[in-house]
Structure 1
Amino acid sequence: MLPADMVGGVSTARAMNLEVTGEALSTFVKRVDGILSDLEGSPGNPRRVGSQTIKPGSLAGNPSAFPEAQDLYLQYNQVHEKLTSLSRALHLQIEAIGIAVKGAHVGFDNLEEEQRRRFWAIQVQMQKTQATSDDSQRTQSDKPIGGL
Structure 2
Amino acid sequence: MTTTRATTTRAAGTTGPALTTQAAPAAGAAQPPATGADRAAPETPAPPAPLSLYGFLRPRPERADEVRRLLASLVESTRAEEGNLEYHLHEHDDGRLFLYEVWRSQEDLDRHNAHPPLRAFLDNIADYLAEAPEAYAGTMVSRYPAAD
TM-score by length of structure 1 reads 0.25
Tell which structure's C-alpha radius of gyration is larger. Answer: 2
Structure with greater strand share of residues: 2
Greater RCO, CA 8 A, separation 6+: 2
TM-score by length of structure 2 reads 0.25
Structure with greater helix share of residues: 1
